[in-house]
A and B are shown apart, each in its own frame.
Chain A
Amino acid sequence: MSKIKCQCGHDNPFGTVLCERCGRPQTEEAKESKLVDMRYEGAARRSQTYKRSIIDKIWNFFSSVKIGISIIVAVLATAAIGTIFPQKMYVAASTEAEFAAYYERLYGLAGTIYYKLGFHDMYNSWWFITLVGMLGTSIIIASVDRVIPLYKSLKKQRTKRHPSFMKKQRIYGEGPSEDPEAALIKAEEKLKELRYNVKIENGALLAEKNRFSRWGPYVNHLGLIIFLFGILLRGIPGFYVDETMWIREGETRSIPGAEGYYLESKQFIMENYTKEEADEVFGDALERVGMIAKNYQTDVALYKTPEGGLPGSDEMDFVKDYSIIVNKPLKFDGYNVFQMDFRLDELKSMTFQLTEKATESSLGEFTVDLTNPEREYELDSGARVILSDYYPDYDGVKDGEPISKSPIPNNPAFIFKMVTQAKPEGEMSFVAIKQTLETEVNDYKVKFVSAETRDISGLTVRKDKTLYLLLLGGIIFMIGVSQGAYWNHRRIWIQKGSNGELLVAGHTNKNWFSLKKELDQVKDVANLPSYEDRQDKESILQDKEVDKV
């Protein structure tokens, strides 16, 4: 593409709006407008210049801020729809049919539609992920399209600008000056005091400060890209572990997702605030709400199989003792183990007594471990009880057979065979909580004596190698956004006109009132002509009224 030659002699790249060197408008549109558009300094941008090939078209689509904003609004709207009813992950159901039933039961027709449209799993839906992907693309392309030309033209800017550039600034003033040279020197001094970088060339002054604030948006967009990239990485195996484990008091289990590591649960502790410690401060609250939880904690020991240890051997090295509390996960080797849930008082074992029905005399007691029961129990009297069948979570009889809902001993039931001296063949008895069934009338029975319970901790095991990348993205975003938000790029141009008058112009990317405050100080010291803020029509009007008075 051909270059555009400005009247000042500078060759500008094709598509330039304002000459890189002197600032003269190059397009008809810019020549006619009252105020020059200072975004990106009027530099040539790829998206505004090339419009032919398919790549140009894709580039131009994503580099448009209008499209970017539309994508933001689309993400925002879909995200909001996802909060109307609870998302799938907060619903206690596991099959699709259960989910459908859940939404229908609680929310009726609206719930069914919500479920059918897939809104119940909004944030994993392909359209939501596509939107986020488009947002990422837009951020990259829109930034690249702007940052390079902006950088080039800010680097190339000349001290002396063409009067047509000055006249089209939002802040502009001109007027006669008795001693323009002295005015420039005084202005320079004051501007330096205000921490501007000042350059003077050929009777023209350029004062500039905080140019780096212009890079803020691009830095923060870089941070966002790193963050989104980090999230993308989580899909790669090994980068991300997310497992749940339930562990009973006294148990030792291997940690899912963390090979070679074992966890022993010593005890689970749940505490509520007590009336005594509540005293005056918390008393009212406890009175009103009732119980308030204070602590959930699992005391554990961490073990590791030694390196080079034989597979299948029980050899384990003790690593450390730790109390996992909410907000204080156990950390080791990049893994975090969190206290997430608990179940209180699961049955651990049950103790029974074998008695003779007629005399109520005992033949001895035995204890059944409910997670790992033995087959046979020898009693002191010489009698034996054989556990011929065991149903940990008894759920009635189906097709003539007792069934168990789950392997968890919520409602244990047993079929015992009682072998005594009197009945060496043995008598069969079905024993469940609060009931005993016999196929024929027995002489003996197994009587429940006591049960022992224990608590179970629900722990979550996580490993996330992307966290540091996400954090880095966050930090870069914060640096960029602060850089752009808390500093302002300000420029003031002062130059001698052809007839010895002075021209003053100012530009800032934001906070014009603060720029004007600084310019006022310079104006007073250097006797500069008064200027107008062409967008603040009210003040101009008021000033005119004051003049009339």
Chain B
Amino acid sequence: MGLASLSANLLFVSFIAYLVATLFFGGAVKGAKSEASYKNNRWGKIAITITVIGFITHVGYFITRWMASGHAPVSNMFEFTTAFGMMLVGAFILLFYLYRTPSLGLFALPIAIIIIGYASMFPREITPLIPALKSYWLTVHVITAALGESILAISAVAGLIYLLKNIDLTKKTKQRFWLEAVIFTLILVIGFVLSSSAFKLSGYEAQFTYIDKNEQPAKIEYNYPPLFGMAGYESLTPDAMTPWAEMPPIVNAKTLTTFVWSVASGILLYLILRLIFRRPVAALLQPFAKKANSQLMDEIGYRAVMIGFPIFTLGALIFAMIWAHEAWSRFWGWDPKEVWALITWLFYAAFLHVRLSRGWDGEKSAWLAVIGFVIIMFNLIAVNLIIAGLHSYA
């Protein structure tokens, strides 16, 4: 039990460290006049030190969990997403030392915090490996792919800062709408984490039997009050609420219920913010981005794609194909996860081409970086939870 609980504690320490470091990065940005003047700010130095400490404990979590389970901790949603958050922070630290800009930390760390929070909503116990995952390629493929994705994600962070700084939020424009939509999506994730934690703390449980897609009886447990019932459901928990509607067999009503609860709490959270501040949430964040240098953010965004793209190719396509050949007898099988990795790759290839030969830098490039992150997250979340395929291990 020693290692597993040590591992959990280390993760908690790193979570707190990232929270504290965000505040210090905020202090660094707030006290500075412009990009040039806050480069060697004291607040910034404290902030990066705390970030590095957080990162080291995060790596400590990873290693101790690896030792406890005997396999690289990247085998389910919780483990993968947590590792992704860790690498995101690592990629930020790398780019911080290349360009020394606290603005990046101020936005990268909160995103890492949201990602770790999201990861913690999935079952956290250590699972033994199923036969398909028993291979050293699990370690090699997943870690490289996650590393590539996390570096690509930094480009979205830089893009977000660029957009927050350069989009005029006083006028009603398409850009303002979409930027607010990006922020709103982040708030939805926070809504999911909050509502899920709340119901978990209250110990809510409702069990049902239902008929699955292949017309077999099955059992399911909800952790949220069941808004939607599975096809042919029958309640096993007497005092649970009666679902509003019964879903057809292809719809996972439990996922839908979770989704609706998250969206509802996200909207509630968003409305509260709007009511208190009476401004778009993007406008609240804008002052924190104002001091960043646009050209620098553009370059960081591009550089992150340049560093991340080859690693992503290696991990998510080449290593993936080699392993797929070993495990599933074919190197490519058009499994949804594979297809979405290819889509991500094609997207970034297009990104590089439009930037190089059509001169799409600045705002266009920033938007593309944000869309790239959306695709990566879609592959991580939606493809795993909705479009079930061979990769659904969560």
CB under 8 Å from chain A, chain B span 326-340: 326-331, 333-336, 339-340
Give the docked Cα–Cα distance between A293 and B126 (Å). 15
Q: How many residues does chain A have at the interface if contact means C-beta atoms less than 8 Å apart? A: 70
Output the nearest chain B residue to A124 by Cβ-Cβ distance.
B334
Checking B34, B331, B343 against A79 with a beta-carbon cut-off of 8 angstroms, the contacting residue is B343
Bound-state CA distance A106–B212 (Å) is 11
CB-based nearest A residue for B3: A281
Contact A340 B329 (CB under 8 A): yes
Query: Quick check: A72 and B353 within 8 Å, CB to CB?
Result: yes
Contacts of B294 in A (CB 8 A): 538
Residues of A within 8 A of B135 (CB): 327
Q: Chain A: interface secondary structure?
A: helix
Contact status A123-B132, CB under 8 Å = no
The distance from the CB of A341 to the nearest CB of chain B, in whole angstroms, is: 11
Asked if B36 is an interface residue, CB under 8 A from chain A, the answer is yes
A328 to B328, alpha carbons, bound, how many Å?
Answer: 10
- Which of A174-182, A204-212, A283-291 participates in binding chain B? A283-291
Contact with A along B341-377 (1 / 0, CB 8 A): 0110011011001101110000000000000000000
Interchain CA distance A511-B302 in the complex, whole Å: 8
Whether a CB of chain B sits under 8 angstroms from the CB of A295 is yes
Q: Is the CB of B131 within 8 A of A296?
A: yes
B353 touches A285 (CB 8 A): no
A288 and B125 in contact (CB under 8 A), knowing A482-B310, A513-B99, A535-B295? yes
Contact A462–B69 (Cβ < 8 Å): no
Is B358 within 8 A of A80, CB to CB?
no
A86 to B336, CA, bound (A): 8
Q: How far is the CA of A289 from the CA of B122 in the complex (A)?
A: 13
List residues of chain A with CB within 8 A of the CB of B342.
79
Report yes or no: B334 in contact with A510, Cβ–Cβ below 8 A. no
B45 in the interface, Cβ–Cβ < 8 Å? no
- CA distance in complex: A329, B346 (Å): 31
- Shortest Cβ distance from residue B276 to the other chain A in the assembled complex, whole angstroms: 32
**Minimum C-beta distance from A37 to chain B (A):** 9
Q: Is B318 in contact with A478, judged by CB distance below 8 angstroms?
A: yes
Q: How many residues does chain B have at the interface if contact means C-beta atoms less than 8 Å apart? A: 67
Q: Are B125 and A106 in contact (CB under 8 A)?
A: no
A281 CA to B2 CA, complexed, in Å: 10
Q: Determine whether A539 belongs to the interface, using a CB cutoff of 8 Å to chain B.
A: yes
A80 and B339 contact, CB distance less than 8 A? yes
Q: Report the Cα distance A13→B1, complex, angstroms.
A: 75
Of the candidate stretches A63-71, A159-167, A363-371, the one touching chain B is A63-71
Is A292 at the interface (CB under 8 A from chain B)? yes
Q: Which residues of B contact A481 (CB under 8 A)?
A: 309-310, 313
CA–CA, A485 to B152, complex, Å? 13
CA distance A538 to B134 in the complex (A): 53
A544 is an interface residue with CB less than 8 A from chain B:
no
Given contacts A89-B334, A485-B306, contact A72 B346 (CB under 8 A): yes
- A542 interface residue, CB < 8 Å from B? yes
B223 at the interface (CB under 8 A from A): no
Q: Is the CB of A72 within 8 A of B336?
A: no
Q: Is the CB of A293 within 8 A of B334?
A: no
Q: Which residues of B contact A292 (CB under 8 A)?
A: 127-128, 130
CA distance A538 to B387 in the complex (A): 45
**Cα of A513 to Cα of B130 in the assembled complex, Å:** 48
Residue of A75, A284, A326, A478 near B131 (CB, 8 A) is A326
CA distance A73 to B350 in the complex (A): 7
Given contacts A90-B389, A288-B125, A481-B313, contact A83 B339 (CB under 8 A): yes
Cβ B346 vs Cβ A75 within 8 A:
yes
The 6 closest A-B pairs by CB, nearest first: A284-B125, A326-B131, A338-B329, A536-B295, A285-B127, A65-B357
Q: Residues on A close to B: CB < 8 A?
A: 39, 65-66, 68-69, 72-73, 75-76, 79-80, 82-84, 86-87, 89-90, 106-107, 122-123, 242, 273, 278, 280-282, 284-286, 288-289, 292-296, 325-329, 336, 338, 340, 460, 462, 467, 470-471, 474, 477-478, 481-482, 485-486, 510-514, 533, 535-539, 542
What are 25 A-B interface contacts by the 8 Å CB criterion? A68-B353, A79-B346, A82-B339, A90-B335, A242-B330, A278-B128, A284-B126, A285-B123, A289-B127, A292-B128, A293-B130, A294-B128, A294-B130, A327-B132, A327-B135, A478-B310, A482-B310, A485-B309, A486-B306, A510-B303, A510-B306, A511-B299, A537-B295, A539-B293, A542-B35
